[in-house]
Amino acid sequence: MKLPCPLCGSRALEEFTYLGDASVTRPDPETETLDDWYAFVYLRDNPCGRMHELWQHSGGCRAWIVVERDTLTHEVFGSELARDRNTRERAA
């Protein structure tokens, strides 16, 4: 499997480190409850199909990226810098 790094282009899997589901969000410190932390740390959707995931290009430019990938077919649909996605989502 190869992953597209927005900065370096298509690179081999061995250059990347996996963190996991990019859809989980850290609880808001203003409104957090213990249940929010439980969900953030432990609970996952674990989809069979398209999934957004956090990877780090640790053997390359060291950027954190969000990759959209199919967990059943391993087809990769694209990627963007995690920072860009974060900025966009906050604006939205």
Residues at the site binding another protein, with contacts judged by CB under 8 A: 1, 12-14, 18, 20-21, 38-39, 41-46, 48, 51, 53, 69, 71-74
Q: Is 66 exposed, middle or buried (0-12, 13-18, 19+ CB in 10 A)?
A: buried
Residue with token string 């780090």: 56
Taking the least distance from each CB to another protein, the nearer of 21 and 80 is 21
In the bound complex, what is the minimum distance in angstroms from residue 29's beta carbon to another protein?
20
Taking the least distance from each CB to another protein, the nearer of 2 and 88 is 2
Cβ-contact 3, 13 below 8 angstroms: yes
